[in-house]
């Protein structure tokens, strides 16, 4: 049986391709089961074509969390956050990734592929995956996020 806490979806556009490949390799070496939603080369692709399937998979419970990467991180983040069940967070360092989980119960980490080092990105991903939501006063706040 697969440990669902160690499974995640991963996707990117061409701006995040090299970083995605690095993260996929490092996570696999660390015992994570990673489903790669693409892109599978550095050829140009529209980020919504990757972000929608990833966000849908998380929203439908197929994966507890995901990582999306594009050049700035903004495009994939905006697309993923169209889903009511998704709380995608644009993070560019470990502390922001930790707080996205701890305080915001984020379920998709969005990384700026052109503005973050491999080392910082991997650290942010690992912290994101290993940090639990704190709950408490933060729970009431995230419950106010969806439109009524």
CB 77 within 8 A of CB 110: yes
Whether 77 is a known active-site residue: answer: no
Q: Which of 12, 91, 103, 110 is catalytic?
A: 103
How many residues does the structure list for the chain? 148
Alpha helices in the chain (DSSP H): 17-29, 48-59, 74-80, 94-102, 118-130, 137-143
Give dist(CA 65, CA 69) in Å, integer.
Answer: 14
Give dist(CA 130, CA 5) in Å, integer.
Answer: 9
Give dist(CA 49, CA 25) in Å, integer.
Answer: 23
CB 116 within 8 A of CB 92: yes
Whether 91 is a known active-site residue: answer: no
CB 92 within 8 A of CB 112: yes
Q: Which of 70, 77, 91, 110 is catalytic?
A: 70
> Residues with catalytic annotation?
70, 103
């Amino acid at each position: 049986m697969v440990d669902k806490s160690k499974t995640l979806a991963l996707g990117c556009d061409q701006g995040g391709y090299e970083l995605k490949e690095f993260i996929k390799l490092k996570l696999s070496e660390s015992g994570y089961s990673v489903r790669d939603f693409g892109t599978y080369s550095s050829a140009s692709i529209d980020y919504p074509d990757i972000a929608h399937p990833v966000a849908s998979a998380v929203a439908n419970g197929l994966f507890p969390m995901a990582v999306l990467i594009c050049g700035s991180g903004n495009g994939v983040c905006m697309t993923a956050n169209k889903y009511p069940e998704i709380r995608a967070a644009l993070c560019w360092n470990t502390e922001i990734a930790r707080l996205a989980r701890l305080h915001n119960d984020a379920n998709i980490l969005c990384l700026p592929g052109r503005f973050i080092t491999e080392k910082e990105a991997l650290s942010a991903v690992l912290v994101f995956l290993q940090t639990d939501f704190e709950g408490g006063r933060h729970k009431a706040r995230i419950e106010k996020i969806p439109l009524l």
